[in-house]
Amino acid sequence: MRCELCGREESRLQRIMIEGTEMMVCSSCVVYGKPVTVPKKGKPLSISPSKNKDYSKDIFEKMKKEIVPDYGTRIKKAREEHGFSRQELGALIGERTTAVAKMENHELRPSDEKAKKIEKVLGITLFQDVKQAILKKRDVTGLTIGDLLKKNE
């Protein structure tokens, strides 16, 4: 066999990658490129690893916060601690008294915007990290991982 780089005759050539091109070279020419393993035996070292793993990692890192399931209990407790009536809290967050009552009874889930307002007014936390929520959402809407990433960007 002949070295594709210098043309020297050598019985055992090595496969290397030089600027994106695979070449069979002799032992003295291997220094000019990166060693490449034969595809059948394994992945070429020069090709960057699959990004699939990174994608799923991105999903989890970009998890959105969701309103806690016991938001009503938290709102009620904090409201009472502050000595607010439902009417007063409603006025502070721009909701009707009946809406506040429904929220406290878990009959009405506050919008993210409203929940943030309540957090501020009452000094409580109404959001939590929920990975399952994202995954569930994806199942329901049929969104691909790519769609999710776009949405979160």
Residues 6+ apart with CB under 8 A from 14: 24, 25, 26, 27, 30, 35
Q: Rounded to whole angstroms, how far apart are CA atoms 128 and 134? A: 12
122 contacts Zn ion (rule: CB under 5 A): no
- What mask, x for binding Zn ion by CB under 5 A, covers residues 78 to 107? ------------------------------
User: Which CB, 3 or 103, lies closer to Zn ion?
Assistant: 3
Name the nearest CA neighbour of 49 among 94, 84, 130, 57. 57
- Nearest-approach distance from CB 140 to Zn ion, in angstroms: 59
Q: Which two tokens stand for residue 29?
A: 């020419």
Which of 6, 45, 47, 145 touches Zn ion (CB under 5 A)?
6
- Nearest-approach distance from CB 25 to Zn ion, in angstroms: 5
Which of 13, 16, 23, 29 touches Zn ion (CB under 5 A)?
29
23 contacts Zn ion (rule: CB under 5 A): no
Compute the radius of gyration of the chain from its Cα atoms.
30
Residue bearing tokens 């938290």 = 74
5 contacts Zn ion (rule: CB under 5 A): yes
- Nearest-approach distance from CB 12 to Zn ion, in angstroms: 12
Output the CA–CA distances (angstroms, integers) from residue 93 to 112, 128, 136, in the order listed: 12, 21, 30
- Nearest-approach distance from CB 39 to Zn ion, in angstroms: 22
- Nearest-approach distance from CB 32 to Zn ion, in angstroms: 8
Q: Which two tokens stand for residue 30?
A: 């291997």
3-state secondary structure of 147: helix
26 contacts Zn ion (rule: CB under 5 A): yes
| Interface with Zn ion (CB under 5 A) | 3, 5-6, 8, 25-26, 29
